[in-house]
Amino acid sequence: MLRSNSLARTLIITFAALAAMVLFFLWLRAIATVDPFARLRTPSQIASIVVIRLEDVDLRHYSGSKLRTEAHVGRVDVRQDRQYLDLYGVTDGVFYSDQGSFKFAADTANWSAATRRVEVTSGAHVFGKDFDLTVSKFYMDGGAATLHVPGPLVGRLYDGNVKAQNLTYKLSTGAYSVGPAEWEGNLAIATQDGDTNPKRTKWKIKTDGIVTHEGDIDKWPDGEATDGEVLVKADMVERNSKTDVITATGKVRYFSAKTNMTCEKAVIYRKEKRAVFTENVHLYFKPEDQQNQPLMVVEIPPFRPQVPDDVAKGRPPAPPVTDEDKQLDNDLRSGDLKKYPVLALSSKVEYWYGKASRHGIITGSPQARQELPGGRWRHIWTQKGLYDGEKETLRMVSTDGKQDTRALTSWGDDLVCDWFEISTKDGDDKWTGSHIHGNVSSDDEDIPKPDKSKDKPTVKPPPKDGKGGKSL
């Protein structure tokens, strides 16, 4: 009896010890799985904990039965909240939509279950029929079939190379907005109908604003465009990629090797090699020593209109002419006046700048003024100006039946004519005109004296048609 009681106690003690050990191990396991800092963690930290990791994955996303995104991913991390997939080493990616598709690759990206879209977060390359770009990040709005690049980008955009910020591109139409931006591309220029091998020239266009493209039209606010031969700045520069016409409006400034100008509108027809400038056109013809300088943006001096005759008559007489004044007048008359700049004003200038066909038409009551040393000047008015770039001549033509082509100088010359033509060649001062009459000033020494031994003076009146005379 005593032996059986002792055995019972031994068994009870043994079972109690075993139970205590089981409870101890359960307690240890519970302690091991408890996060003592859980209450201190934010929801975003909990969400960032990776619970599943997959490698070498082919990922596909469907909307209903339609495949929308696919890519090969080197590694996929599934976060604890199951709302995000972190993707690493993305290759062979394709976005599909009913309006179009494009391909992509990236160093890193993530998939959001909430937005149901892939966002590329670093080292991305996107390419489609209209673009081939390296970007820092991008995302696709599948509903609107729109690609968004919120940051820097570089690469091909349509028919040129672009360096820009913040691209939005619609797959449905190819329309986009981007900016600030710099674009550079070779444009095909067909100079003759049926030209099978058109010349391609490079244009650079840049802006600090937002560029938009829709259809065939690019719009560059506060834009600057150059092909190396001309440089155009304006409040708005538009380019039609189909017709290859560039239109600049609002405070237009145009710069070339020989001429700078300002106006309110400039249209450059590159296939025709023709430029049309309208509305308050101011021209600055550079002196010879400035015509080989690089293209640059400079201010054009203001045009100084001639004082009307009735006002000039009321002014006090000029001081007596000195010998020094006479010598300066003679030097200017006999010297090369092309080394001094000329300012001109008109309503419209149309210019053809193609090789072997350079010519221009200046209309809208044009006038020109040349400022010379010592306060001297020359001023001319006309009804129309005709420039021949091949012959290097400029003809000023009066209105039919009128003589409204007039030349006036500070030393007293005042002539009118039917037309007046001057050479624009370097070192060539030839001129000719039709039915010229008026006043030509001259020193007493230049006037032939009559021979007292004869009854009549030897002085002859000037011919009606002047040719080969002195420079005005």
Q: Which of 213, 211, 241 is nearest to 224 (CA)?
A: 211
The dihedral through the CA atoms of 164, 166, 170, 175 has a sign that is: negative
Region of 398 (left: φ > 0; alpha: ψ -120 to 50; beta: rest) is beta
Residues in the chain: 472
Measure the N-to-C terminal CA separation of the chain; round to a whole number of Å.
152
Helix (H) or strand (E) holding 21: helix 2-33
Q: Which residues of the chain are under the pLDDT cut of 50?
A: 1-4, 7, 11, 24, 28, 31-32, 34, 37-38, 40-41, 188-198, 308, 310-316, 318, 446-447, 449, 454, 456-464, 466-472
- Measured CA to CA, the distance from residue 397 to residue 418 in angstroms comes to 6
| Structure confidence at residue 163 (pLDDT) | 95
Q: Which of 132, 134, 110 is nearest to 121 (CA)?
A: 110
Provide the β-strand partners of residue 342: 285, 370
Could you tell me if 187 and 244 are in contact, meaning their C-beta atoms sit under 8 angstroms apart? yes
| Structure confidence at residue 469 (pLDDT) | 46
Helix (H) or strand (E) holding 217: strand 217-226
Could you tell me if 244 and 271 are in contact, meaning their C-beta atoms sit under 8 angstroms apart? yes
Report residue 206 as tokens. 């840049």
Residue 10 φ then ψ, to 5°: -60, -45
Assessment of whether the complete model's pTM goes beyond 0.85: no
- Measured CA to CA, the distance from residue 175 to residue 190 in angstroms comes to 26
Report residue 394 as tokens. 């400029």
Rounded to 5°, the CA angle 152-155-156 comes to: 130
Residue with tokens 């039609």, as numbered in its chain = 240
- Measured CA to CA, the distance from residue 331 to residue 454 in angstroms comes to 34
Helices (H) and strands (E) in the chain, counts: 4, 30
Separation of CA 321 from chain center:
52
- Sequence-distant (6+) residues with CB within 8 A of 300 are 253, 260, 261, 262, 282, 284, 343
- Measured CA to CA, the distance from residue 156 to residue 401 in angstroms comes to 59
Residue with tokens 């980008």, as numbered in its chain = 153
Q: What is the CA radius of gyration of the chain?
A: 41
Q: Which of 78, 75, 131 is nearest to 106 (CA)?
A: 75
Residue 415 φ then ψ, to 5°: -125, 150
- Measured CA to CA, the distance from residue 403 to residue 202 in angstroms comes to 46
